[in-house]
């Protein structure tokens, strides 16, 4: 058996036995990742009723589900907009754009679709894996930086930014920018994030309403 097949089997066994996978299936969430956002929001309260939300890298839709429920987004008055180049089934209360966030037209299209500046920008984006750990790490860190740039251009004053990053991987220059532009910046690892995973979430709260390079 090849090493790759062994790894895939090990991952599948872990996935099947994962309590968060079972919870997601029980409660109708599209991914276990929904619980990462639930746990972060339960502690930090970034998804308040009426808040307008943009979700970057939305597929398969777990974060959109949580955001729509918590802010009170409905099909008749949607205030959650997601984007992903992967196709996905519609999420109630959410408009999802099927396009690449790195497309030059994507930022304007997101704001046009939302109809206002967002109160919250979420990003669970991760680059497709190549199998080379350092390359995968750098590509996902790039997505975090692009998401942060977008958030600092579009957020309402007082707004929040949450994005996937990696342990020890956040560039100091990005952290410095966020600290200048937000009242508080945290690295958070919710219980739903597997202990063996290097992923962390970068949470910047209380946008000051100005961008500094």
Residue range of the domain that includes 144: 31-207
Question: Exactly one of 156, 164, 179, 205 is catalytic; which is it?
Answer: 164
The 10s digit of each residue's pLDDT in 48-93 is 999 999 999 999 999 999 999 999 999 999 999 999 999 999 999 9
Quick one: pLDDT band at residue 123, thresholds 50, 70, 90? very high
Asked if 210 contacts 182 with a C-beta cutoff of 8 angstroms, the reply is no
Q: What is the DSSP letter of 85?
A: S
More confident residue, 108 or 17: 108
pLDDT > 70: percent of the chain: 81
Task: State the pLDDT at residue 119.
Answer: 98
pLDDT at 163: 96
Gyration radius from the chain CA atoms: 17
State both tokens at 165: 């990053």
Quick one: pLDDT at residue 126? 82
Is residue 25 a part of any domain in this protein? no
Pick 54 or 3 by higher pLDDT.
Answer: 54
Q: Is there a domain that residue 201 lies in?
A: yes
Q: How far apart are CA 117 and CA 165, in angstroms?
A: 24
Mean pLDDT value across the chain: 86
Instruction: Give the model's pLDDT for residue 52.
Output: 98
Total number of domains in the chain: 1
Q: Does residue 9 lie within any of the structural domains? A: no
Give the residue ranges of DSSP H helices in the chain: 3-17, 19-27, 34-44, 62-71, 106-114, 133-154, 172-181
The answer to the question of residue 42 being in a domain is yes
11: in domain: no
In a domain, 21, yes or no: no
pLDDT of residue 141: 86
Q: What is the CATH number of the domain that holds 194?
A: 3.40.50.150
Please report whether residue 16 resides in a domain: no
Say if residue 9's pLDDT is above 80: no
Task: Decide if 164 is catalytic.
Answer: yes
pLDDT in tens, 29-45: 768 889 999 999 999 99
Does residue 76 lie in a domain region? yes
């Amino acid at each position: 058996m090849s090493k790759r097949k062994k790894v895939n089997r090990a991952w599948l066994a872990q996935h099947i036995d994962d309590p968060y996978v079972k919870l997601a299936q029980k409660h109708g969430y599209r991914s276990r990742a929904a619980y990462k956002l639930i746990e972060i929001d339960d502690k930090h309260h970034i998804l308040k009723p009426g808040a307008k939300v943009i979700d970057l890298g939305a597929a398969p839709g777990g974060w959109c589900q949580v955001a729509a429920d918590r802010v009170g987004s409905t099909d008749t008055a949607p205030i959650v907009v997601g984007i992903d180049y992967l196709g996905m089934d519609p999420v109630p209360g959410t408009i999802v754009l099927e396009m690449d966030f790195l497309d030059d037209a994507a930022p304007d299209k997101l704001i046009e679709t939302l109809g206002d500046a967002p109160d919250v920008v979420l990003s669970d984006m991760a680059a497709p894996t190549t199998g080379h750990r350092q390359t995968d790490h750098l590509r996902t860190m790039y997505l975090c930086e692009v998401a942060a740039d977008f958030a600092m251009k579009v957020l309402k004053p007082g707004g929040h930014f949450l994005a996937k990053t990696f342990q020890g991987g956040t560039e100091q220059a990005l952290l410095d920018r966020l600290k200048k532009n937000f009242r508080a910046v945290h690295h958070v690892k919710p219980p739903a994030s597997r202990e063996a995973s290097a992923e962390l979430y970068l949470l910047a709260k209380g946008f000051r309403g100005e961008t500094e390079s």
